Amino acid sequence: MLAENNLLHSDMPFHDCLLVQVTCPHSDAERLAKALLDANVAACVNILPEVQSIYRWKDSISRDSESLLLIKTTTDAYPTLEQIVVDLHPYEVPEVIAFNITNGLASYFSWLRSSIR
């Protein structure tokens, strides 16, 4: 059983943490992750090394093998994070999708915030 004070509940204010998803070529994944950490806009970046992406681009169906970055950040750091990805990403239109985090381990998100500030 989880300690009541360690689990965040949906009725608690918890609107400042985000999970950001970015896909990129394998050769760029570590460089992007390091740039985000060096800029202090991400607390952690997980690199999932092998995802298959099938997508429509310029009236064609494309298929690529990519890496998926799962980036933990805050809403305050997000605009800078997004700009870094856009500036360094090799794609004309990179995938950058931010998800609000509504529940999780309080001590983890305390660490996340302190890692970015």
Q: Is residue 52 part of a domain?
A: yes
Query: How does pLDDT run across 55-90, given as a tens digit for each residue?
Result: 999 999 999 999 999 999 999 999 999 999 999 999
Is residue 42 within 8 Å of residue 71, measured between CB atoms? yes
- 13 pLDDT exceeds 60? no
Number of structural domains in the chain: 1
Query: How does pLDDT run across 40-55, given as a tens digit for each residue?
Result: 999 999 999 999 999 9
The type of residue at 107 is S
Answering whether pTM is above 0.85, one says: yes
Q: Is residue 70 part of a domain?
A: yes
Cα–Cα distance for residue pair 20/82, rounded to 1 Å:
9
Short-list 97, 100, 84, CA closest to 21: 97
Note the pLDDT of residue 1. 43
Q: Is residue 1 part of a domain?
A: no
Range of the domain at 81: 17-116
Q: What is the DSSP letter of 7?
A: B
Domain at 102, CATH number: 3.30.70.120
Task: Please identify which residue in the block is written with the tokens 């660490």.
Answer: 111
Note the pLDDT of residue 102. 87
Q: Is residue 12 part of a domain?
A: no
